[in-house]
Chains A and B, each alone.
Chain A
């Protein structure tokens, strides 16, 4: 289990003012973060640019040390037991870097495998397995400089899995990938978690990806975790439920009164406008009151032209959070 307890990270920078004069500035990148990740689950880390996501991931992967607080992985401290932790974690970042372009895909994996102490048939089998998993068997002996962006990203994934890590950090893994490659990657990530029981921390700007993959999501802002829940609960709590849209040809007094009573009863919001089909009634409620609304319309002797439910997405929730609505 990854356990982050009261972790702070402060960067100290020197800013040159004029020739030899400089001033020291402190930037609080991470402030008192608590977080946990169990094996066999995908945890999302969301936030705006500069929220501290990458810093947090790099601290968990031993690349950076916390200024204060502790991070343990399976009971091992990421600072004191860095070497042991390094052998059970790995990181995959989006983009085309982290690979040697003049080497072939196989040679890259051989090198990184050696760095993790793998050799011989064990390494050979692992490389063949990973190359087939990411669909690069045919291009295995082609220099990486001739790979497409998607192929490089797939090789990155194979590199990140070369040591069969128990915990994997994915920092924008689908950045710049085309739709089909990104979809295959998401399927692969799910397979890693559900079949192989790996614990994954994922950051992504594609919120649908987070919503689709993650069991739990942490939302960071200015280095602090401001919310933590399942994607479904987050959306519900931030956006206050679904929007029920109903189109009717007319609204009589009976319907108007009955609807107002219902809305008051369920502490919901109602908006009435007109569109090409008729009169659009939008009801936003924490509880699903579709049945009651339909019954009310029926009892008021009004015909129902159409009905659809708008389910807010994580994107809507984050936008609301950003705008300070929530």
Chain B
């Protein structure tokens, strides 16, 4: 599996070096900027910089800007990881190389991990870029617990990876990227607590938010950065995150086996 990870990483790196996706990077940075700006303007202009007690009760902090910047940054990270992994198969299908991948005995997970790890090179730039922009709006990370934050971030990335396997299978099944990815991304942005705590949502939407790894990832990540919490202090969120990651991984793996057969038959028919 390691050789497949390494080979796919290198292949994607060479393709990226051949034509660096400037527009994609700028697009992600701009999305992050607009999200932060939107939250900032609402907070400052509409709410006059004031929050009610419920926000503090739900988040344990009164720093809305840091809350929103971290939400936007991890949300953009989730989109990038989801798209990199989930679109890899359908891209192979469109460029006519899918059969050569399936023809080989290479590990499928090695292939997806290679795609994700290479993609993280660019995602890392976007992540740091959005955080840097956040500082201009008032991002405060003085309470950060760096080790817990780093571990949480790795767990979050792998949860998005698992979710991307399911998304990728759906995309290949329906041979659609646009509707599938945009539906999920919009839903995640709305119900996962990116700009406001999920407790503000109606009950039924709160239940729906519980199937999104982003929801628990954000709670845990904010805990380690805004409140300086140890991993233990966000045990519940981390546990849910790991549970969801495992579920998505298993479902994704199962669906991809089904989809592989289906798509190869559709190509041949």
Q: What is the interface of chain A, defined by CB distance below 8 A to chain B?
A: 11, 13, 27, 29, 54-55, 58, 61-65, 83-84, 86-87, 90-91, 93, 95-103, 107, 110-112, 114-117, 119, 143, 159, 163
The answer to whether A111 touches B11, judged by C-beta atoms less than 8 angstroms apart, is: yes
**Given B7, B15, B261, which contacts A65 in the complex, CB threshold below 8 Å?**
B261
The answer to whether B264 touches A112, judged by C-beta atoms less than 8 angstroms apart, is: no
Name the B residues within 8 Å of A102 (CB-CB). 14-15, 18-19
Closest residue on chain B to residue A90 by CB atoms: B103
Bound: A108/B213 CA distance, A: 36
The answer to whether A159 touches B105, judged by C-beta atoms less than 8 angstroms apart, is: no
Could you list 25 A-B pairs, sorted by A, with CB under 8 Å?
A11-B269, A54-B268, A58-B268, A63-B102, A63-B103, A63-B264, A64-B261, A64-B264, A84-B105, A86-B104, A97-B95, A97-B96, A97-B97, A99-B97, A100-B95, A102-B14, A102-B19, A110-B10, A111-B7, A111-B11, A114-B7, A115-B4, A116-B106, A119-B3, A159-B100
* B 168-212 binary contact with A (CB < 8 Å = 1; else 0): 000000000000000000000000000000000000000000000
Name the B residues within 8 Å of A54 (CB-CB). 268
Name the A residues within 8 Å of B269 (CB-CB). 11, 13, 27, 29
Name the A residues within 8 Å of B265 (CB-CB). 11, 64
Bound: A8/B265 CA distance, A: 14
The answer to whether B100 touches A98, judged by C-beta atoms less than 8 angstroms apart, is: yes
The answer to whether B95 touches A101, judged by C-beta atoms less than 8 angstroms apart, is: yes
Q: What is the interface of chain B, defined by CB distance below 8 A to chain A?
A: 3-4, 6-8, 10-11, 14-15, 18-19, 95-97, 99-106, 261, 264-265, 268-269
The answer to whether B14 touches A114, judged by C-beta atoms less than 8 angstroms apart, is: no
The answer to whether B11 touches A103, judged by C-beta atoms less than 8 angstroms apart, is: yes
Q: How far is the CB of A168 from chain B (nearest CB, A)?
A: 12
Interface centre among A87, A97, A115, A116 (most CB of B within 10 A): A115
Q: How far is the CB of A28 from chain B (nearest CB, A)?
A: 12
| Interface of chain B: mostly helix, strand, loop or mixed | helix
The answer to whether A115 and B7 touch (CB under 8 A), given A63-B102, A83-B105, is yes
Closest residue on chain A to residue B8 by CB atoms: A111
**Given A64, A86, A159, which contacts B268 in the complex, CB threshold below 8 Å?**
A64
Bound: A86/B184 CA distance, A: 36
Name the A residues within 8 Å of B99 (CB-CB). 63, 91, 93, 98
8 new A-B contacts at CB < 8 Å, known A64-B261, A111-B10, A119-B3: A27-B269, A54-B268, A62-B103, A96-B96, A114-B7, A115-B104, A115-B105, A116-B105
Q: How far is the CB of B268 from chain A (nearest CB, A)?
A: 6
Q: How far is the CB of A223 from chain B (nearest CB, A)?
A: 12
Name the B residues within 8 Å of A111 (CB-CB). 7-8, 10-11
Q: How far is the CB of A75 from chain B (nearest CB, A)?
A: 17
Closest residue on chain B to residue A145 by CB atoms: B18
Q: How far is the CB of B240 from chain A (nearest CB, A)?
A: 35
Interface centre among B18, B19, B264 (most CB of A within 10 A): B18
Name the B residues within 8 Å of A62 (CB-CB). 103
Q: How far is the CB of A155 from chain B (nearest CB, A)?
A: 12
Q: How far is the CB of A149 from chain B (nearest CB, A)?
A: 14
Bound: A64/B261 CA distance, A: 7
